[in-house]
Each structure stands twice: as structure tokens, then as C-alpha cells.
Structure 1
């Protein structure tokens, strides 16, 4: 639908141009400007045609089309005209006998939608999957075949500059210190990686990637932020999409997005259920060393994971257009999931001469249940002046995650030698209040100010019972309370081709980390200023450059703080650090954007300096389990990290039926710091973590429109090797493949995709700790997956891209300059 609108708009515009070019006007030209919006929502209408028709000859003599903000501007000869405004599926509007004698601003013109027009017409030309802008990248989910039947994690893993590792951790330009927002607000999930696997990809409209956010956003996330925008209906009347999915390994689901819109209300809901199996595997071959680095023993550990998850995700919301300038939005979200996870670990033990000794089998049967309820509300007041706006937001949620596991430990030469039970129950309450005010000043300046209060409390109750006895050293209740109050202001202005945006954010933080079992109470209070500055220079309409700076923070949370470990392996354990301090980042970014007819290039050079950065250290504990030393991994504040890099993203359309986009990222990470600890023997051990590591990653996506309404998409990804102070990770290549075909007069689409075509997506790590261990490990979190999906659309053209009601948080970014 949208593409038909675009083509007909272009046709009307060309007709306007041809008619106008044949005229021989007398006298000088004047400028005609204005803006066109949708009547019900006040959203701008792009590609709308506006024409000046001579009242005497009844011929079009001038005109233009609107840009993505609904604005138009064109030259005309002074005279008396009928002004015609036309946009497909909207009722045409005509202003008769308008005298144009000088430069004229027609103001804001509103069009009323006409749902009866062209309901069944579809043009297959599609908007590009990735839109490249100077300050951010926008990923349009609906155009990507790879994510059909998938989750938000699959969506993020397909976005340029973004990577999702085999455990679901998200990184931006190789930096895991990234902030994830949903509709402009922080996610309320306890475990964000698990929450992203519950939300179906079909519920997502688009994702905005902002590598260097302005003061408008909260300062969390030194690596940047990702804003996940959920679908909300736009088209009048009742319309929607239903998607059914099946796959192997088990990946079955049913979801629906339904919308009903009138001039007074917009009702929308998304409902989805999924049943997914995610088998995985891993192995670690370890050579344990004596103090003189001679071989002590060998242990070969293999692991099979069989994870099953059943989840429901639903929301219901409405926009109430109280009047032409005031909208009230309410949304209720509910998510519930349950899972079974069996972790089967075999440890083959050998002596120093590689003679086989025995095998231990450690089985971890884990059952999980999660429930999340969130209510959010928004008031948006638009004042008379274009861009003058006040928004008020509130979000209130509660989240429960319960996990229990039964761990059995057996030897092949004896009966059960261990029986452990773990309980990990978490409950989080989170309240968010926010208000933003935007005031345009003159024609090229803008003032903004706002407040955000973020208040959360997380209680983690962890218990370990071994052979019927509670293990006090593994049992604790951890209470985490966070109160963050923030104020911000920023001012933007434009002088000719130069745009500037200055911002300052102040955040007051109070953090409580209480270990109730050990009566260890830790309160931290601090407040910080977070300045930001952005400059953009437009060389031409198709070429521009930007320079930006912002200060960011990363607060440790959850698993990073909990000092009580899991027991899936009793020789390789993870332990949190409740004494972690926040890390602070100074981020600099120099970008350049160039557009050609078929090619768009965006390049960036960036530098991040992080103080008190989090680093994971592995160390021998001095404890042994059956003559095997226990190796502990824990996060610490390790001095200073310097991260520099170069990135470019390309969009290339060599033909109308073929679209390519590619991303390349090279970065260098330098860490400086020493870590000293005392082992059980009382020896003080110092590890030097000074290290310089370079690595790179690249991805290529190709989408081809084949005959018979068949689309073919291929994604290739490669993450290069990287050294660290305790070893290195090896390079990993992965490929995805997808096909789709439109059926039922384009009301339905069948899609087949294969994730990890060559079953090669693994994390491969080599580790060397002098006098302790030398190991090699491979881990595959999810094996190759084949998914088949069917999409049915009712009263909704395939390419009628839904535009969500945009809030100030969604629109805000470092490059949103006035003018």
C-alpha cells in the first residue's frame, strides 16, 4: 500500500513538474511552504502531493511533495490558485481561490483518512530493511525474513553494529555496556537476556540504534543504546496480522496483532504463545598445572543442554484522542513463561601421563517460572506551535523469576557421591516517572528539559542444600535497591549548515546492596553530571559530518553483585562481586554520511575511555574437588579501559529487485591494571592485566525479489579473534538463509528460514593461567534451527508500514537538531 502511495505520489509530482515546466511565468518566483499531518493522530504524512491549480486555465502550475516530517517547500509564480492536497487512502482536500502574492506559509494542513480506498492493492517494492542516518540506524523488522517466528534476540542479532553472543548477551560495536529500551523506557525485566527471548519478533515495529545518546536519555550504557519500538496500529478500522510458526528443533508459536482505530480512539493488542526447544552443547579440555607449570592432571569436560521454554506474551492498549492536541495512551503488558533445562556434564579425569582414571557425571535439572506485569501511561500535549510539546510518562511493574534445580553427581566406579538442590527466587518491583518538555525558539532553535525518576528493588533468595544439609557458604538473600533521580536540559540551534546541540544531565543515585544472611549492608550514594555536545555540518543535501561527545555510566546489577554461585559445574564456577563500583565512560564519535542514487555510506571513528571498567578474572581458589582445583570467575573494577574503533555501514541497491547492506567494525581495546588476591594458603598473588587486543566483525545481508512473488535473503556474519590478558577467543563464522512467498492475493506469506546454516556459531576460548590451568573450550548455546511460518493479514496491505505513536523518548537522539 505504502509503495503504491509513493509511486502514485511520484506520478502526480512528475505530472505537476511537467505541467509547470511548460509554463512561461512572468515575474519573479515566491516560496510556498507548510506541513501536512493526519487529522486523527497529528502524525506527519510523507510523500503527500500538494499542487497549485491556476483558476483560469485549470492547469497545475506548481507543486511538491512532503518529506519524512510532513514538510513541503516549492517555488511558484504569484497568482490566484486552487490548492489541492492528495494522498492515497486519504480524502483529498482543496483550498479554493488562494492568492499567492509573496512568500507564503500555508501552515499545517490536516488530511482525514479514507479506509475505503485501495484496500486490496499491493505493490511489492519495499522499504529498505536498514535506514542509515547520521546519528542512528533504524532497523525495520517487518522487512526481514530471518526473524520470522523468532524473538527480539533474533531481531537484535540481525542489526548492523549489534551482536548477540551464544548466551544471549547483547553488545554494540563489541561493547556489552549497552542500554536496552522498549518504547523509550528501560526494560523492567530481571534478566534482560531471557526477557528478550519471550517477546516475539512479530510484535516489533523497528529498532533504533543510537551509538552516542544525548542528555535526553538516562546516562546508563557506556556503549550506547537500543530502542525497541513495539507495533501500534495506524490504519482506520479493524485490521491486523496473525502468524503461526513451527520448526525443528521444536519452535512452535501463534501470535496476533490486532488494531481498531477511529477518530476518537485507537485500540491495539498483541497476543502470542510459543513453545521452544533450544538444545546446546559445550566442552572444555583442561590441563591442570603445578606451581612450576608442570602437568598435574587432565580433565575433559563435555556438556549437553536441553532447554525447553513455554511462554505467553500479551499486551492491550489504547490511545484516546481527548482533543486535537491532547492524547492519552495506556498499555498493560503481561508475560509469563516456564522452562525446563537439563544440563548434563561429563568429566573424564586423567593423570599427568594422560592415563584414564574415572568419569564423573553431573546432571543439573532446572525448572524455571517467570511472571511480569507492567502498566504504562502517557500524556502528550501538542501546543499550537509546531514541535512545542509536553509529555508525561509513568510505568509501574512487578516481576517474579523462580528457579529450582536438582544436581546429582555420580562416578562410574561408585554410587551417587553428591546430591545438591538449589533454589533461586527473585522478585523485582520497578516504578518509573518521567516528563519531557520541548520548546521551539524561532525558526532554528529548540530548548528541552525533563525529569526522570527510576526506583527499583530486587530481592534474590538463593539457597543450596547438599545431601539434605543447607550449605551456609552458598546460601544468602541479596537485597538490591536503586533510586535514581535525574534532571536534564539541552539546547539546539542551527546556523546555516552547522547544527549544534548542547546538553547536561544530572543524576542522583542511591544504591543499597544488602546480604541478609551475613548481615553485610552496603549503601552507596553519589551524584554526577553528564554533559553532551553534538555538532553536524551539512556539506550538501546528500553529504554531512558529525562530531559528538557524551559521558555515560554503568551500574553493576544482579548476577554481577551476587557472591553466591551456581553449581552446574563444581570445578568451573561464577561468583558475583557485591563491592563493584559503577564504571564511567567518556564517549567521542566522529561520523560521516554520504548518499548516492543507489548507495548510502555511513562511517564512524569512535573513542571510549572507561574508568573502573568491569573485567572478568579467572583464578584458582586453592580448593580441590577430587584432586581437581576449583577455578573461579568473578567481575572486578579493573582500572582503565580504552576502546577505539572504526565502523562503516553500506546500503546498496544495484537493481530494484536486489538490496544489499553490509557492516564492518574494527576496534582496539587496551586495559591497564593489576589484580591482587590472597589464596587459601595465605599467599598473595598479583595478576597483571595490561593488555592490548584488536578484533573485527563484519556482516553482509542480501535480499533478492525473485519471480512468482518469492523473496530470498542471505545473512553472513563473522566475528574475528580477540586476545585478552588470560588467553584469547577465536573467530566465528555463521550464515542464515530464508525464503518467503506471498499467497492468497498477497494477504498471506509463507516463510522458511534456517538459522546457523552450517551449525558453526560457537564461542571458542583458549585460557592460560600460569601455575593453575591451561584450557580450550567450545560452547554452542543453540544448534541450527529451521523455522516455517505463515502470516495472514486482514484489512491490512503487506507493505502498509505501521507508524507507532511516537513519544519524546523515541524521537530523542543526539542528532535531532532543530531547523
Structure 2
């Protein structure tokens, strides 16, 4: 690490600069917030400089000392003003006063050639060429150079701390709107501009009234990439038969867009994340949310290397076709096949347990999964004030897991082999209609959503010793085989009608009526297969569920939106009629409740770059069918669960407060969020613990639970570096019953980080960060542990065509007995590609130190664990890419 730092800072050259500051205002001295100040160099090798005026009209330009610049100040609706700065100028202050153009805004033609950032009310547009140096390969590398934009290792994109929820290319949804497929596959040299659109709504005339919280990122392509096939293909081979094949191909024209992504590798690299996959699992209108899916899709998108083997095959096709001025057809198809092998070792210390003091676990898993998704969407616009959508999705998956677990305690040892198979099929569809009337002050939305799910998980446990004695009715045998079958069918139909009335510019009134209906059939059965061929059915001992579940939620609501100066509020009140009916063997249970649910949204805009947002709602959450099934069910080798047919709704208050500020003049960005969740009525499992065996059953209590979260960051540009301070703090207070002893538990965590990153186009990209974490648990016992993490990234170009990258991280965990574990991980790569050559060559090394396992600590209400997760060995890969 020391050698890396020495090399980095020896490679940095400090050129002489001088700074010009000033104010951009109109003719009567009103500041022009977000005005663009562009310094165009007249020397061939010098770079464009720019600044954005803050809310007081202030700007700051850092110019090279020996370069002549033409500095232009511009603002929409005003005449541009030019300032010429000669080489070695001593000018340090200059104020721009812009005169109104005297034209209506809609008649002005704005030229954006030299505007790196254009800020409008809800849209920020970045001109890519002003930030990229030309050596970037994928979109991700470009985004990381845009101010306020961050991309994490899973491909999630945040802008000023807010997550991008919709990814578009040329205004069209890209593979369902997920970010990872875009940022890791779209070539960097295809990008022209990046638009960030807050409060995004794909129906233009709905934006004023929908109050969407979506943050969209729209990629605009260069003109030479339109009506032309572009992308790249890559193939690589490495040590120990490791290999990689990847293709990302794109075709965009005004009416036809087609994208294909294919990948096959055994190096542990996943093509997309679990978050992206859950978006594909959707098929639900954005106006209706809250439905919980039964599908278990984590195996298809586990994009870390915390496994000992990972082989994946992936193919995805996305298309969009404008068949006429009124019709658009779009869709995508996904295929994924994954094999993963994992290995974990846990040392568990059991608390408040007289029989068992410790358990050592060694678990090996082999997971084979196949997934197919087909989605099609029809978009019909009969006129500019009406929009129709139909979306249909079919999904099918299989998930097969073979697991071996060795459990050793101070009393005995046991080996379990588990075979799990899960077949899942779903059909989801919705229709949306949006209409703005001749009187543009009235708009109506109507949505109907239907979903069908059929899930059939099956588990078989094998062991040579009795287990869960006293909890399951085992018959003595030489070997023990337990078979469990579950059948879960869900059907739901949801409908919503909402009318928006714009009374005037400061007052809106929205009325809502809707109904959500859900039906579930839930069946479980367990039996022992004896070696003599006979069957010991557990049904006579209270196992096996057959439960029919119906929940209907009919509601009406009223929302009133009003604006006072810079302050916008939208209180709402909803009246819900909930009817829950469950039918089980020899029992029927009916709940009927009429409940009021208030909510409040509030926004205060100090200026275009500084906002404060508050949201509150009162929520009633009814139990799922599995929680109500009142007969026993085997959950794992040491856990039996029984539902509670008498459960009713949880009731909780949820609120969050978000503050955001970006000041280009001071090089300052601040983002902070506080969230609060307080449950008035709480469903929590009551646990009976006997040795390592557990019996759990849910109960509804009036005991309150409180959960606070506070996270945020402050970023400041200091000379040519960005310094960032971040924090993440949580407080969770709840009541837990364990072995008939009820205690108040507290789970708290605090995390504070500091990082520094270079922020100059000519310098290597280097960042280093340190994060300190604390975790505490208090209840019947007290536990805590600390963590220290260092994360470093380096990228630099040398000899024009060579790019070297390295990422390094280490983590040290310390528990309350001062026991520590430590691991460090490093990946590196060297790439060669000439500017105008389609061929690229890359040598990469993952897990450079050949780390065998990662270590950490964790705790729960009754156990403290030290975990060791084995990882893939060192992978050395040589790859060749070809750019179309």
C-alpha cells in the first residue's frame, strides 16, 4: 500500500493556476442561480473549465495560468456575456450582468455545445465530454467522474445520495429500468449526455400531479451511434480452467431499439444484481405497490465472490418498436442458469442456555438454478392528452439445493444432508389509463393489476441420528429421512381510480378510490420415510396445514396539495375497510376493520440546489397466510414453526426527513436522511429454545418497537481533492420473549467513514477511505463488536494506451473479548487499447493474495457467532475484447 501511495503522488504534477470569482446577476442585481460559466481555452492542449453559479449567483473558476480563455456566462432567457482572460492574467474578480433577451422562453434556441452542466427545476444534464478523458471503457467509469454521482460495486447509482430507480436510454426503459445492466455494458464512447430527472413520470402530462419519488437517469447517445450497431464482445481464459465470454450489442434508431447482453463465466462474476432481478420480478404498475412476491431469486443474482465456485450463463434481449405515432411495443426476455458452491464455518455461543454452551457448524451448499422471464408492454397514445399501457409478464424458475451440515455441540454431533427443490411459475399483468381533459386542470388515472403465483418448494432431510426430539414425532430407525412438501398458490386483483384537480397554481385536490383483493391457498405436509418402506405421517401429531386465505382492502382517500412560497405540503387521509378471512381444518377466522390512515408529505425548497423533504404515514400491515397457518411446520434441522390464526394487523408510524444541498461555488455537497419507524402493534416470534432446537410462534402484542436510522455524507472539494465524511447510525428497541422470559432489547450500530479522492482530469484516479464501525446488543446479556475497514481504488493511464487499475480492501473485526479476525482482498488489472483500435487486451487478477476465507462476528437475541465464509481462489485471466 505504501508503494502504491508513493507512486501515485510522485506521478502527480501540480500545474500553476489562478482563480477568478464573481457574481452573475441580471440588470437589477438579482442573482441568477445555476447560471453556466464556461471558460473555453484557445490553446489546443488545454482543457475546458466551467462553473455553476450558486443560489446567490456566485461562481468560482480555476484557470491554467499560461492559457488564454474566452469565458462566457449564460442563462436561459438572457443574452450571453463574454470575458477574455489573457495568459498570465492577474484578474481575480469579475461580475457578469446579463440582460434579458426579451423573448418568450419557448421561442429561445439554446446551444449546449459548451455547457458541461445544465440545471433546470427537476433535471440536471451532464455533457459527457466535459468530464471523461477518453480512456473510459464502460458507462460506469464515466458516471463515477460526474459531480454528485456514485456507483457502488453492485451497479446501483446514486445522485446526491438519492438512488436512481429508473434507467433509460434515449428516453426508453432499458431492461426494465435496472441500472447494473446499463452501467456495466453500455460503451463509454457511445455516451453524449447524461440526464438526471427527479420526480420522473413516463407520462408527460402526469408529472405535475403524480408527485413521483422516482429518480431517472436518461442516457443520450452520440449521433454516430444511432442507426448503427455498436457494442463489444469479450473472451478470456485463465488459470485452472477459468474462462469468460461476454457480449453487449446495441442498435438504436428513432423508431427501433434492440439490445442484447450475453455472458458465460466461471469466475464468480454476475451480470446483474438482486435489485435488478427483483425489478424483472415485478410486472406490477408503479401506481400499485406493496404486494409481496413468493419467488426466491437471490441465487440468480449473487454478484459477490463469497462462494467457492460460481458458474453462470446469462442471456437478455430488450427491444422497443414504434409501430406508428400512437403505438409502441417494448419488451425483454431473460434467461439465467447458475451453479454455485459455498462453504461456511460458524462457531456459535448460545446465551441463557443451560444444556448447550456452543455449536460448531460446517456447511457446504451446491445450488443449481434456472430462470426464464418474458415481458411485453404495449404503449398506446391516441392523442397528446391520453395514454394507455398494457404490461404482461411470464416467469418460470427452478431452484435445486443440496446442503450438507455438520453440527457439533458439547453434548453430541450430527450430520444433516438436505435436498431442496422449488418450482415457481407466475403470470403478472396490468392495464393503465391516464387522461387529461380539455380543461387541463383535470386528470384521471385508472389502473387494474392481476398476479398469479404458484410455488412448490420441497425439502428432504437425511441424518443418522434423532433430531428435534420432543418437537417432531420421530420413530426410531437406523437412518432418518424426513420429507416436506409445500404448495402455495396466490391470486390477487388490485384496482385504483384517482382524479387530480388543479384548482390553481397553489392548490391541488386529489380523490382516490380503490380495492385490493388477495387469495392464497397454502398447504404443507411432513412425513418420515422409514427404511422398511413404511411412512410415518406427522399429521396426527399436529403437522400439516391446509389454509385458505382471503384479504380484501377497499379504500377511499383524499389528498390536498398546497404551496406557500417555497413550502409545498400534501396531507392525505385514507379510509380503509379491511376484511380478512382464513379457513383451516375445523376453524374459520374472520376479521373486519375500518381504519383511518393519515399521511403527510412536505417539501421546502431553499433554492434549486438545496431542499428539505419530510414524509409521514400511518400503516396497517396484515399477516401473510404462512403466519396464520395454525399447525406445525418444519423450517430447518433445528427449528419448528407454528402459525397463529388469531393474528391481526400490525400498526406502525413511518416517517423520514431528507436534506440535500449542492454548492458548486464552494465545492460542497451535503446529503442527510433520518428515518423513524414506531410499531404500536407488533407481530414478533415467541421463541422456546432447548439446546440448539427452537420452537417459534408469532404473537401480536401492544409492545412498541422503535427503529431510528440516520445516514448521510458531507463532501468538500479542497484544491484538487474531494474529502468526504459519511455516517450511518441505527437504534432499534424491541421486546422479545425467550423461554418465557420477556426482555427489552436494544440493537445499535454506528459507522463513521472518511475518504479522500483525486478530482483533477490530468491526475490518476485515486481514492482511499477508512470506516470505523461499532455494534452493540443489550438484553438478557450484553454483546458488542467493532470493525475497522480500509478501502482503496487506483486507476491511471500511462504511455497513452495502458490503463492500470487496482482495488484493495481490508477488514478487522474485534469482539467484546478482544478477539480479532482480519482479512484483506485485492484485485488488479492492466489493459491496453489504442484510441482508434477496436481491439483491447486485458490481464486481470482477482483475489490477488489468494485469500481463503472472510471472517466476521454477529449476534442475535440468544447466540453470538463467529463466521468464516470461504471464497474463490486467485483467478488470473487474460481477455481480448473487440469494439464494434
Same fold per superposition (TM over 0.5): yes
Name the SS of the counterpart of 1:689 in structure 2.
Answer: strand
Moved more, 74-83 or 559-568: 74-83
> What corresponds to 2:325 in structure 1?
263
Q: Is the 8 A contact 1:347 1:361 kept in 2?
A: yes
In structure 2, C-alpha distance between the alignment counterparts of 1:593 and 1:636, rounded to whole Å: 40
Q: Is the 8 A contact 2:675 2:708 kept in 1?
A: yes
Compute the displacement of 1:346 (Å). Answer: 1.6
Compute the displacement of 1:363 (Å). Answer: 0.9
Name the SS of the counterpart of 2:645 in structure 1.
Answer: coil
Compute the displacement of 1:634 (Å). Answer: 3.5
Q: Is the 8 A contact 2:143 2:151 kept in 1?
A: no
| Counterpart among 486, 489, 493 of residue 431 in structure 1 | 493
1:336 equivalent in alignment to 2:396? yes
Give runs of aligned pairs for residues 643-654 of structure 1, distance below 5 A.
643=706, 645=708, 647-650=710-713, 652=715, 654=717
- Structure 2's unaligned 5+ residue stretches are 1-22, 33-51, 53-71, 79-97, 114-133, 168-174, 184-194, 201-205, 207-211, 221-251, 269-309, 467-475, 530-534, 792-806, 808-826
Compute the displacement of 1:777 (Å). Answer: 3.1
Moved more, 631-640 or 741-750: 741-750
1:632 equivalent in alignment to 2:639? no
Compute the displacement of 1:271 (Å). Answer: 1.6
Compute the displacement of 1:555 (Å). Answer: 2.2
Give runs of aligned pairs for residues 331-480 of structure 1, distance below 5 A.
331-351=391-411, 359-384=413-438, 388-411=442-465, 416-467=478-529, 468-472=535-539, 473-480=542-549
Compute the displacement of 1:786 (Å). Answer: 10
TM-aligned CA distance change 1:440 to 1:157, over 3 Å: closer
1:578 equivalent in alignment to 2:656? no
| Counterpart among 93, 109, 113 of residue 85 in structure 1 | 109
Compute the displacement of 1:384 (Å). Answer: 5.0
Q: Is the 8 A contact 2:423 2:455 kept in 1?
A: yes
What's the CA shift string for 1:155-183, capped at 9, x where partnerless?
59999699xxxxxxxxxxxxxxxxxx999
> What corresponds to 2:558 in structure 1?
489
Compute the displacement of 1:79 (Å). Answer: 7.8
Name the SS of the counterpart of 1:202 in structure 2.
Answer: helix
In structure 2, C-alpha distance between the alignment counterparts of 1:540 and 1:230, rounded to whole Å: 22
What's the CA shift string for 1:630-660, capped at 9, x where partnerless?
3223433343335353524237484999988
1:525 equivalent in alignment to 2:592? yes
Q: Is the 8 A contact 1:552 1:586 kept in 2?
A: yes
Compute the displacement of 1:524 (Å). Answer: 1.4
Give runs of aligned pairs for residues 144-183 of structure 1, distance below 5 A.
144=151, 146-147=153-154, 155=156
Give runs of aligned pairs for residues 214-293 of structure 1, distance below 5 A.
236-245=254-263, 246=265, 247-248=267-268, 249-261=310-322, 263-278=325-340, 279-281=342-344, 283=346, 285=348, 293=354
Q: TM-score, normalised by structure 1?
A: 0.62
Q: Is the 8 A contact 1:581 1:612 kept in 2?
A: no
1:669 equivalent in alignment to 2:693? no
> What corresponds to 2:567 in structure 1?
498
The number of residues matched between the two structures is: 619
What's the CA shift string for 1:360-407, capped at 9, x where partnerless?
211110111111111111112234566743221111121111111221
Name the SS of the counterpart of 2:646 in structure 1.
Answer: coil
TM-aligned CA distance change 1:766 to 1:670, over 3 Å: closer
In structure 1, C-alpha distance between the alignment counterparts of 2:655 and 2:363, rounded to whole Å: 42
TM-aligned CA distance change 1:459 to 1:82, over 3 Å: closer
TM-aligned CA distance change 1:368 to 1:327, over 3 Å: same
Compute the displacement of 1:723 (Å). Answer: 1.4
> What corresponds to 1:51 in structure 2?
none
Compute the displacement of 1:546 (Å). Answer: 4.4
Give the alignment's Cα RMSD to 1 decimal: 5.6
Q: Is the 8 A contact 1:619 1:632 kept in 2?
A: yes
In structure 1, C-alpha distance between the alignment counterparts of 2:431 and 2:402, rounded to whole Å: 40
Name the SS of the counterpart of 2:109 in structure 1.
Answer: strand
1:76 equivalent in alignment to 2:83? no
> What corresponds to 2:375 in structure 1?
315
In structure 2, C-alpha distance between the alignment counterparts of 1:226 and 1:791, rounded to whole Å: 42
| Counterpart among 588, 601, 615 of residue 534 in structure 1 | 601
- Structure 1's unaligned 5+ residue stretches are 1-16, 32-46, 48-59, 67-73, 90-119, 133-139, 149-154, 163-180, 184-195, 211-215, 217-224, 352-357, 622-627, 677-684, 769-774, 796-819
Compute the displacement of 1:698 (Å). Answer: 6.0
Name the SS of the counterpart of 1:620 in structure 2.
Answer: strand
Give runs of aligned pairs for residues 207-218 of structure 1, distance below 5 A.
none
In structure 1, C-alpha distance between the alignment counterparts of 2:101 and 2:446, rounded to whole Å: 45
Point out which structure has higher relative CO (alpha carbons under 8 A, 6+ apart): 1
In structure 2, C-alpha distance between the alignment counterparts of 1:651 and 1:391, rounded to whole Å: 40
